[in-house]
Structure 1
Amino acid sequence: MKKYLLITLTLLVTFVCQAQDTRYFEMRQYTVHEGKMPDLVSRFQNHTLDLFEKHGIENIAYFLPTDENPGFLTFILAYPDKDSRDKFWQAFGNDPDWQKAYKESEANGPLVSKVNQTFMHTAPELSPKGINFDNAGDRVFELRTYTMHPGRVANINARFRDHTRTLFENHGMTNIVYWFTEAKEGEQTQLVYLLAHKDEAAGNASFLTFRDDPAWVSVRDASEADGKIVEKVESVYFKPLPFSPLK
């Protein structure tokens, strides 16, 4: 009996571990020099994506802001784990095919003026199955970043887990994925997540009705009975590039 119980528990643990998305994510934002966005997009489409995959780097999403003249490109990559990230990236950077593509694309000047990086892990209770890749045709994505007051990460996790995600869906928003950032020493992690909307206007309208929803007001007030949770919220609307796996 004990033997069968042990086998059952082992299989259960294995199933849970396999169900969780344990990949290590990197979000990169490339600010471009004026007039260089088409060249950067072309380099990704014709060279970079394939070379990433060649070296074990998984392409997740490629976005441009919905602005008329976007000044930066944001993309998200995944690695099997944290330890593989530097090894894979070094192999990519040393690849002669990448060095050739890079040199040729910058024959008339550099494309990128600034690079920002954010490293993330999937929030297991908020995205238990990883990224929602149910592509539903034309839509925009909203990237939201929450900076919490000190010591309030567990509170934001509980509020989203128990209430917020469901309320988002009730108001026409699609939950795509939730991450917690890898915090630098002495800093607190941030909550980063992606929502999908029919378009930017629909997203704004959904948030207006969400904020006025008595159910949300009740949840918010109860969760903040002992103090505010969120210090700052940043929101950016994106449109996916044609070659983005996530659309």
Structure 2
Amino acid sequence: MAGMNRRTLLQGLGAAGALPFMGGAVAEAKTSGGAVDKDTVYELRIYHTPEGKLDALLARFGGPEKKIFERLGMHCVAFWTATDDPLKGRTLIYMLRHKSRAIADENWKAFRADPEWVKVKAESEKDGRLVEKSESTFMSLTSFSPVL
């Protein structure tokens, strides 16, 4: 992972990764996850896994973790895996939407304390941690971005 930064990672997503960010206009819109307005924030998260742990992390996200997010009001926008080395096979990238930055903090506090999450995490990491490094960036849509 040495020398790899978010810019390089996002460039590696290619045109397909950029398509959701092109064209359109945002004021206030209804989406499947609720209203999007000027206070809405998006959170880009990047998880780097130890060698051989990505499949276990994907299973956790594809099963109980995503459901816990949704139950706690953390709208899942999309999930990606890296396709190019050195991140291929070791990186999960995903985006969440929160009603505001303050609510994002409340959501994460509730998530970390959630009894179901505590149990899922312990069970999924009985043979070792699934994430060795994580990154998080909070973002707001521009006036010309489509609603995600």
The alignment's TM-score, normalised by the length of structure 2, stands at: 0.76
**Among candidates 59, 76, 88, match of residue 158 of structure 1:** 59
**Following superposition of structure 1 onto structure 2, how do residues 46-125 of structure 1 map, counting pairs within 5 Å?**
59-61=19-21
Aligned to 1:173: 74
Matched residues in 2 for 1:143 and 1:201: separation? Answer: 16
**Following superposition of structure 1 onto structure 2, how do residues 128-207 of structure 1 map, counting pairs within 5 Å?**
134=32, 136-138=35-37, 139-184=40-85, 188-207=89-108
Matched residues in 2 for 1:207 and 1:185: separation? Answer: 29
**Following superposition of structure 1 onto structure 2, how do residues 15-30 of structure 1 map, counting pairs within 5 Å?**
27-28=10-11
Matched residues in 1 for 2:10 and 2:18: separation? Answer: 12
Matched residues in 1 for 2:66 and 2:35: separation? Answer: 19
Q: Deviations over 1:160-216 (max 9, x none)?
A: 111110000111110110000113158643100010001111011101111111110
Matched residues in 1 for 2:99 and 2:113: separation? Answer: 20
In terms of fraction of residues, the more strand-rich structure is 1
Residue 228 in structure 1 maps to residue 129 in structure 2: yes
Structure 2 stretches lacking a partner, 5+ long: 1-8, 23-30
Aligned to 1:70: none
- The verdict on how the C-alpha distance between 1:144 and 1:185 changes in structure 2, with shifts beyond 3 A counting, is closer
Matched residues in 2 for 1:58 and 1:152: separation? Answer: 27
Structure 1 stretches lacking a partner, 5+ long: 1-25, 29-51, 63-132
Letter aligned with residue 159 of structure 1? R
Question: Computing the radius of gyration over CA atoms, which structure comes out larger, 1 or 2?
Answer: 1
Identity of aligned residues (%): 33
Letter aligned with residue 136 of structure 1? A
Matched residues in 1 for 2:19 and 2:84: separation? Answer: 23
State how many pairs are aligned. Answer: 126
The alignment's TM-score, normalised by the length of structure 1, stands at: 0.47
Q: Deviations over 1:45-80 (max 9, x none)?
A: xxxxxxx9xxxx973127xxxxxxxxxxxxxxxxxx
Letter aligned with residue 27 of structure 1? L
CA contact (8 A) 2:53 2:90 kept: no
**Larger relative contact order, structure 1 or 2 (CA cutoff 8 Å, min sep 6):** 2
Matched residues in 2 for 1:154 and 1:58: separation? Answer: 25
What is the RMSD computed on CA atoms of the aligned residues? 2.6
Structure 1 consecutive aligned stretches of length 4 or more whose deviation exceeds 4 Å: none
